Amino acid sequence: MTAGGDVEVVDPGPLSTVQDLGRRGWAHLGVPRAGALDRGAAALARRLVGGRPDDAVVETTVGGIVLRPRRAVTLAVTGAPCTVRVGARAVPHSAAVTVPGGAVVTVGPATTGVRSYVAFNGGIAVTPVLGSRSTDTLAWVGPPRLAAGDVLALGSTGPLPEAPAAVVVRPRDPVLRLRRGPRAEWLDDDGWRRLEGASYAVAPDSDRIGLRLTGPPILRRGGELASEGIVHGAVQLPPSGQPVVFLADHPTTGGYPVVAVVEDDDLDLCAQLRPGDEVLLRLG
């Protein structure tokens, strides 16, 4: 973010951050991985503008973002469906769009889902911290959340794909597949039966740190558990019996048993579940 950059943030919306593939290899020092929560949507945005696999993008949350490029740029918006406008003109979602310098780009509120992604040809060139350009919302490692008046620098541009076109992304069924975790023995047979096929609502306090679920409590064995490491997708079961799925900005340790782990292919779905949405749990 620099005064001599390429794209001005006019209105950041409720929460917009810079994200790439994440910050791996630092959990032993207590630093979360961060990175785009919906990895597939972020990767699609990069591909549409001819970007590199680890180019940094903007991740918005529910309310969208308003940007003003200072020069001509090529961008794409993916993830949660929303209206995208260049000035007063509507442009396609999930397609590469060339925007002239000075035009205002409005990424509207998500009509479904939660997070949209804005990629630019060249990527966002903020300074890496511990090898990543991602914003970590737990420890606030990396660039700060975007604010009005910030100006983003872009990297060197590469060739655009031939005839980039809009892409249709079909919604997925709200099902999270689980594998038994390192503390599976904290559930008895009845507990596992209750978990299989259970329907939960997404709690309002869900965020990039964790997806909190409310529904039928899953009773676990009692006793104390020392803090231990947590992985992306870990399903922790606190005494309330309400599961928590840890996401990209999760802490590196926790004091409740990790009874299950969400299949990696299902973690992108967690990024787009809104408070009140119903999700079904299935044991693999």
Q: What CATH code is carried by the domain that includes residue 196?
A: 2.40.100.10
Whether 145 and 222 map to the same domain: the answer is no
- The span from the CA of 21 to the CA of 18, in Å, is 11
Q: With a threshold of 0.85, does the pTM exceed it?
A: yes
Q: What percent of the chain has pLDDT over 70?
A: 94
Whether 133 and 238 map to the same domain: the answer is no
- Beta carbons within 10 angstroms of residue 220's beta carbon: 19
For position 160, what pLDDT does the model report?
66
- The span from the CA of 232 to the CA of 196, in Å, is 21
Closest by alpha carbon to 107, among 146, 62, 145?
62
Whether 141 and 202 map to the same domain: the answer is no
Residue 16: inside a domain, yes or no?
yes
Whether 145 and 182 map to the same domain: the answer is no
For position 261, what pLDDT does the model report?
97
In terms of residue numbers, what domain contains 183?
Answer: 175-283
Whether 108 and 203 map to the same domain: the answer is no
Q: Summarize pLDDT for 16-55 with one digit per residue, the tens.
A: 999 999 999 888 888 889 999 999 999 999 999 999 999 9
For position 224, what pLDDT does the model report?
76
Whether 120 and 196 map to the same domain: the answer is no
CA dihedral 138, 45, 40, 236 (to 10 degrees): 10
Task: Name residue, tokens 């992985």.
Answer: 231
For position 219, what pLDDT does the model report?
86
Residue 169: inside a domain, yes or no?
no
Whether 126 and 231 map to the same domain: the answer is no
- The span from the CA of 57 to the CA of 26, in Å, is 22
Whether 79 and 188 map to the same domain: the answer is no
Whether 27 and 94 map to the same domain: the answer is yes
Whether 142 and 183 map to the same domain: the answer is no
For position 26, what pLDDT does the model report?
87
For position 156, what pLDDT does the model report?
84
Whether 196 and 98 map to the same domain: the answer is no
Whether 217 and 128 map to the same domain: the answer is no
Low-confidence ranges of the chain (pLDDT < 50): 3, 163
Residue 261: inside a domain, yes or no?
yes
Residue ending a domain, choose from 115, 137, 152: 152
For position 164, what pLDDT does the model report?
53
Number of domains in the chain: 2
